[in-house]
A and B are shown apart, each in its own frame.
Chain A
Amino acid sequence: MSETAEKVKKIVVEHLGVEEAKVTPEASFIDDLGADSLDTVELVMAFEEAFGVEIPDDAAEKITTVKDAIEYIEKQKGE
């Protein structure tokens, strides 16, 4: 797993208070990890802070799974 993926997973575990094992790449924040719409807003803010990237609202709306987040951030960082 990439460094970005590890870090994303850690943030998701902390912010949503879920078990690490549940945070699979395919896991949906809302459907699988118990987040509501405000939780996902906060999660995206946490990614922005941790990775020093800007995630505009229209992009944030498309980040619904752990994998979406990892791929978006890696793309932004040119990894």
Chain B
Amino acid sequence: MFQNGFSPRRVVVTGMGIACPLGLGVEHVWKRMLAGESGIRAIQSFDTTTLPAKIAGQIPAGVKAEGGLDINEWIPIKDQKKMDRFIQFALVAAEEAVADSGWRPEGEEARCRTGVMIGSGIGGLETIHEAAQLAVQGKIKRISPFFIPSALINLASGQVSIKYGFKGPNHSVVTACATGVHALGDAARLIALGDADVMVAGGAEAAVCELGVAGFCAARALSTGFNDTPATASRPWDENRDGFVMGEGAGVVVLEEYEHAKARGAKIYAEVIGYGMSGDAYHITAPAEGHEGAFRAMKAALASANVTPAEVQYVNAHGTSTPLGDDLELEAVERLWGDAAKGLAMSSTKSAVGHLLGAAGAVEGIFSILAIRDKVAPPTLNLEKPSRESAIDRVAMQAQPRKIDVALSNSFGFGGTNASIVFRAAP
């Protein structure tokens, strides 16, 4: 977890929860992902007539028992208006993760050693839009007292802590599309350094709303050429890719100090062994040449994990399906892995769920852990003809059984922020 030979406490993953376009529940989502299913659909929740992008990955409506979301099953109606949907998604994923971990702190000391670090890229955008409309209509006095606490990004961590009584560090990450990895990595370091024994960490996003789609459309970031065939729109590395597809949801994990987890006989999914960060100092939205910032983040993560590239068998790529970014990331991975590239599997699960922005790194971290657990690389859907050949196996179209003990997951965000995290099979 650290460079320069510092020896910290070890951190393991003992619980996981997902709400994403493939549904609710880690096992349900993972099964669908390995089967090659897509969660990308036409947007139904608002009118897209005047928008060039008309598709997204939205959490399917339905009952809990069938892996769908009916928020009334999770959050009392009177509380729903106090939180934007991104916070609701965080609570749904946290409930699964906390239950999965079996961690129920008893006593004040244990509660104070359990913290929360759930971030979001954008936060309560839809809530802000609605309040702004009241202001424009001259109804400024009608703005709800819950407007601010509903929109604030750190209220995802706040609401989770209030629900469970977790009184340790309460923190939140905001680094655009790198948020999820930063949250997991930073939370792991809080445990490694002794600030907490258990951290509930992750990312949540609900920016598939009129303002969010319009904003990314204006930045020319979204796919617009596959509106009639939504499931084929997210096609990382494919020659016909034309932008990313927005997704919504949340990923939450329970991170725990290794001895703490062992002592209570917790099920351990994986160990967090490395974490690396960098900044591009280059452009507000475009990656630097050769994705050199990503290269440095991955290199730092491997150094902190004390593993060589050859020891990593799977990379969950940032791979958003944008014309520029995909090949630059590929190039950076090839450069770092060198000769070991030919033994590497790298896929982009965004091909199935879209780009969950601030939640992406968290759900993809979970997919990386599951790849280790089940020794299988999830597929890159729609990768029919790569725009660029590579020695790296990009797991086109179908999941592949592979020997995976160590996996790295990448997330890069607007502003030129890069983060990589490394997991190893349970010790």
A residues near B, CB below 8 A?
15-17, 38, 41-42, 45, 49
Contacts and interface: CB of A to CB of B under 8 A. Distances in A.
Interface in B264-316: none
B78 A17 contact: yes
Nearest to B82: A38
Contacts of B142: 45, 49
Nearest to B144: A42
- B: contact size bracket: 10 to 19
Given A17-B76, A17-B77, A38-B149, 7 more contacts: A15-B78, A17-B79, A42-B144, A42-B145, A45-B142, A45-B144, A45-B145
Interface string B69-107: 000000011110010000000000000000000000000
Contacts of A38: 82, 145-146, 149
A41 B145 contact: yes
A38 to B, nearest CB: 4
6 closest Cβ pairs, A-B complex: A17-B78, A41-B145, A38-B145, A42-B145, A17-B76, A17-B77
Contacts of A49: 142
Contacts of A16: 78
A48 B338 CA distance: 68
A2 B214 CA distance: 48
A15 B79 CA distance: 9
B80 to A, nearest CB: 10
Residue among B78, B144, B146, B149 with the most chain A CB within 10 A? Answer: B78
A68 B339 CA distance: 78
B54 to A, nearest CB: 35
A49 B141 CA distance: 10
A51 B82 CA distance: 23
A25 B345 CA distance: 68
B162 to A, nearest CB: 12
Nearest to B80: A17
